[in-house]
Amino acid sequence: MEWTQLKVSGHLNDRDTICAVMMILDNQIVIEDYSDIDMGTVYADLIDESILNCDKTRIAVSIYVPEDKSLAEYVSFLRDRFRELGVTCNIELVGVDEEAWSTAWRKYYHPTKIGEKLVVVPLWEAYNAQDGEILVHMDPGMAFGTGTHETTRLCACLLEKYAKPGDRMLDVGTGSGILAICASLLGVDEGYAYDIDPVAVRVAEENIAENRVTNVTCGVSDLLRDIDSSRPYTLCTANIVADIIIRMAPDIGAYLTEDAVYITSGIINERADDVLQSMLANGFAPLDEVHEGGWTAFAFKKAHA
């Protein structure tokens, strides 16, 4: 089996965050950190010159991805998570021919059922819908959220259960726009999808148009910063990470109606209780909880004041 090195380089101060995010994908990480090298040691003459001359304020963290895994999904996941956490870093694939990479990643995407009814179909694949199935046509582009990752599937399953006609839906950190598209196809009246990355917003808009969805509006926003709260939402999704969900917990209620449903995902199982306690402390009651592959998603209900 062939393996590809997925390498993230960043500032030494962000070491713990970079390691934590990389370990979500694989707990066998390789860390390059030369900040502790003592130039005065008696063994200094035995250390390779390239190490002695490297920037001690920088680190690199790598994992090795087998050929049967989707590098595109891994890279998109990392881009989204580091952007949301405010970490500036460089993501590098070692051992992949750039020209081949531009199209080879498509082989990992096939029609995928992500709920009882929802089926994600890549734009380049043909698929005949079975009775009752709802097709979501996606071009992953540069944005995370194509239906193949557990966090997206968990959100979609909860949307099937709680999205309903009459809902006004907010999607925070929309990525590819898949959750807003799913909600629209499930019958919500209107949706608003936001992401901090203009590239993600552009990809989301293209996916929305491809699915002939006319009731979803996209925009650029740093989490909740540029979102209008004057017309509260009855349904909200945030497929992000535990730390960001916890950070938004004191503020998200101002954007939601009483009894609104708030679906959160991107939570590793080890952080699920942290998220739960944070939401309880900020006026939300748990409605539902689902798990897959080490990930947890919640549906919360905004309690009456």
From 105, 123, 149, the end of a domain falls on 105
Residue 134 shares a structural domain with residue 260: yes
Residue 188 in contact with residue 213, Cβ under 8 Å?
A: no
Q: Are residues 257 and 123 in the same domain?
A: yes
- Of the three residues 69, 89, 105, the one that is the final residue of a domain is 105
Verify that 168 and 27 share a domain, yes or no. Answer: no
Answer for the pair 225, 235: CB distance below 8 angstroms, yes or no: no
Which residue(s) pair with 64 in the sheet? 5
User: Do 66 and 145 belong together in one domain?
Assistant: no
Q: Which residues pair with 299 in a beta bridge?
A: 263, 288
Within 86-219, residue ranges assigned H as helices are 98-104, 150-162, 178-185, 198-210
Residue 189, domain CATH: 3.40.50.150
Q: Are residues 61 and 206 in the same domain?
A: no
Regarding pTM above 0.85, the answer is no
Mark whether 293 and 177 lie in a shared domain: yes
Domain identity same for 12 and 31: yes
**291 and 217 within one domain:** yes
> Which residues have a Cβ under 8 Å from the Cβ of 45 and sit 6 or more positions away?
none
Give one word for 192, left, alpha or beta, with left for phi > 0 and alpha for psi -120 to 50: beta
The amino acid present at 270, given as its one-letter code, is E
Q: Return the pLDDT at 44.
A: 41
Here the tokens at position 135 are 């097709």
Neighbour-count burial of 103, counting CB atoms closer than 10 A to its CB (0-12 exposed, 13-18 middle, 19+ buried): exposed
Supply the range of the domain harboring residue 90. Answer: 3-105
Cα(42)–Cα(187) distance, integer angstroms: 71
- Domain identity same for 64 and 142: no
- Total structural domains in the chain? 2
pLDDT in single tens digits along all 305 residues of the chain:
678 889 999 998 998 899 888 888 887 888 887 765 444 443 344 344 554 556 678 888 998 888 777 777 788 888 888 888 889 999 988 876 655 555 555 666 778 888 889 998 888 888 888 888 999 998 755 455 566 678 888 999 999 999 999 999 999 999 889 999 999 999 999 999 999 888 788 889 999 999 999 999 999 998 899 898 899 999 999 998 899 999 999 999 999 999 999 999 999 899 999 999 999 999 999 999 999 988 999 999 998 66
